[in-house]
Amino acid sequence: MTTTKLLIKRSIKSFASLTKSKTVFPKTEPGSVNIIAYHRVVADIAKAEKDAIYGLVVSSATFRRHCELLRKSFDVVSLETARFFLDGERKVSRPLAVITFDDGYLDFYEEAFPILNEYGLPATVFLPTEFIGGDKFLAHDRIYWLVKLAIEKSVPVYKALIQAGLSKNIAAKLAVETDVLKLTDSLVYLPKDLRERVIFQIEVSLGDKFESYPPEYRLLSWETIREMSKKGISFGGHTANHVVLPLEAQASMETEIHESKKTLEAQLGKSVVSFAYPNGEYNLRAKQMLAEAGYKIAVTTETKINRTGSDLLLLGRISLCEESTRGFKGSYSHSVASLRLGI
Ligand SMILES: [Zn+2]
């Protein structure tokens, strides 16, 4: 798919729409497997919702309430265990829930892991291997920060986008966008190399108006991952560079899928069978490559509840953040949370 077509398609599934209330919520039934998707769990939600894509953050207090609700209403199992129910090997008596986290942020260890431990709940974390154990931040976080700075400080981005290699037509359309999330979303959905050039050029354009990326964007270290791997947390693939798979050339897709799996298995000392498509984007080729690489189970960001017979390499998830379980008063709502979880 061309970049232009993809940019247009993006309006359907953007960060902005990820958490917006939908009128129809899937309902949990006996035999259903609800897979929940989180990104970051934070101590200071007001700061995080300002400094990061708000759809990626939930407060520790709200996460704790979600855990309580999940434990009460479901059998919470690991993704690997859920696989045996989804392929019909084992029968379920109660609805199952699986807790997943994308991207491997450091705050998973600091905020989420102690709560999961306290409740005795398993979880799976999907890791973009190139960013683990280093000091690099993920492209979506860097782009959000740069776009926010550019819009707040009235720094035009047209020239940066042209110099990065975008067409005049697309650059002109994007340069007039004043919504931080919408522009972030469009710039994240680019092939990896082009996306890196966009980041570099916007940093250059900001000049002395550039402000350092928030340290809260940090990801986990391998040491910490190995520690958690012995204590109920499993880890899955998420490519090496957090690429939008359908936008990458065949060779890049292969490296991203195969090499990252090898890295994960070498670092963990165990086989890795689960995968999350970065940004939920997949195509038939990506799915086939996962199967060839030995992945047994893969999750998207499509809002659906899974059941026996669901395609194990295209499972749906329910994405949750702070905003998704707020009531009309602006604070956590038990009834909204129950609705979101299909209870
Ligand atoms: Zn991700």
pLDDT digits (tens, 9 = 90+) for 11-55: 334 554 444 444 467 777 777 899 999 999 999 999 999 999 999
| Token representation of residue 11 | 């309006």
At 156-172, the pLDDT tens digits run: 999 999 999 999 999 99
How distant, in Å, are the alpha carbons of 20, 124, 126, 185, 257 from that of 233? 29, 6, 11, 30, 21
CA atoms of 199 and 187, how far apart (whole Å)? 9
Q: Is residue 24 part of a domain?
A: no
Interval between CA 141 and ligand 1 midpoint (Å): 11
Neighbours of ion ligand 1 (CB under 5 A): 102-103, 278
Q: Are residues 195 and 252 in the same domain?
A: no
The amino acid at residue 243 is V
Interval between CA 302 and ligand 1 midpoint (Å): 14
| Predicted confidence (pLDDT) at residue 2 exceeds the cutoff of 90 | no
Interval between CA 4 and ligand 1 midpoint (Å): 22
Q: Are residues 299 and 189 in the same domain?
A: no
At 267-290, the pLDDT tens digits run: 999 999 999 999 999 999 999 999
Q: Are residues 124 and 229 in the same domain?
A: yes
Count of domains observed in the chain = 2
| Predicted confidence (pLDDT) at residue 8 exceeds the cutoff of 70 | no
Q: Are residues 311 and 199 in the same domain?
A: no
CA atoms of 236 and 238, how far apart (whole Å)? 7
Q: Are residues 204 and 334 in the same domain?
A: no
Average pLDDT over residues 180-184: 97
Q: Is residue 294 part of a domain?
A: yes
- Give 51's contacts (C-beta < 8 A, 6+ positions apart): 145, 214, 216
Interval between CA 126 and ligand 1 midpoint (Å): 8
Under the phi-then-psi rule, with left for phi > 0, alpha for psi from -120 to 50, and beta for the rest, what region is 232? left
Interval between CA 258 and ligand 1 midpoint (Å): 17
Q: Are residues 248 and 131 in the same domain?
A: yes
> What's the chain's average pLDDT?
92
| Token representation of residue 61 | 């207090």
How much is the pLDDT for 24?
62
Q: Is residue 34 part of a domain?
A: yes
CB atoms within 10 A of CB 123: 23
Interval between CA 91 and ligand 1 midpoint (Å): 31
CA atoms of 21 and 19, how far apart (whole Å)? 6
Q: Is residue 85 part of a domain?
A: yes
**Helices 139-152 and 180-188 meet at what angle, rounded to 10?**
140
Residue 158's Cβ-count burial label (10 Å; 0-12, 13-18, 19+) is: middle
Confidence of residue 343 (pLDDT cuts 50, 70, 90): confident
| Predicted confidence (pLDDT) at residue 10 exceeds the cutoff of 70 | no
Domain boundary among the residues 194, 209, 224 is at 209
At 186-198, the pLDDT tens digits run: 999 999 999 999 9
Secondary structure letter of residue 297 according to DSSP:
E
Q: Is residue 21 part of a domain?
A: no
- Higher per-residue confidence, 234 vs 92: 234
Interval between CA 242 and ligand 1 midpoint (Å): 6
CB atoms within 10 A of CB 278: 25
| Predicted confidence (pLDDT) at residue 103 exceeds the cutoff of 90 | yes
Interval between CA 145 and ligand 1 midpoint (Å): 17
How much is the pLDDT for 9?
44
At 219-256, the pLDDT tens digits run: 999 999 999 999 999 999 999 999 999 999 999 999 99
Q: Are residues 159 and 307 in the same domain?
A: no
Q: Are residues 43 and 190 in the same domain?
A: no
The SS3 assignment for 123 reads strand
Under the phi-then-psi rule, with left for phi > 0, alpha for psi from -120 to 50, and beta for the rest, what region is 94? beta
**Helices 139-152 and 192-206 meet at what angle, rounded to 10?**
30
Average pLDDT over residues 68-87: 93
Q: Is residue 22 part of a domain?
A: no
CATH assignment at residue 273: 3.20.20.370
Average pLDDT over residues 68-79: 95
Domain boundary among the residues 209, 236, 263 is at 209
How much is the pLDDT for 296?
96
Q: Are residues 226 and 302 in the same domain?
A: yes
Is the pTM higher than 0.95? The answer reads no
Q: Is residue 73 part of a domain?
A: yes
Domain boundary among the residues 186, 209, 232 is at 209
Q: Are residues 325 and 221 in the same domain?
A: yes
| Predicted confidence (pLDDT) at residue 134 exceeds the cutoff of 50 | yes
Interval between CA 329 and ligand 1 midpoint (Å): 30
Cα angle for residues 294, 91, 337 (degrees, 5° grid): 85
Cα angle for residues 257, 183, 336 (degrees, 5° grid): 80
Q: Which domain holds residue 87?
A: 3-16+30-136+215-340
Contact 18, 55 (CB under 8 A): yes
Q: Are residues 127 and 227 in the same domain?
A: yes
Q: Are residues 290 and 165 in the same domain?
A: no
How much is the pLDDT for 26?
75
Q: Is residue 291 part of a domain?
A: yes
Q: Could you tell me what percent of the chain has a pLDDT over 70?
A: 93
Ranking 106-110, 202-206, 305-309 by mean pLDDT, the lowest is 305-309
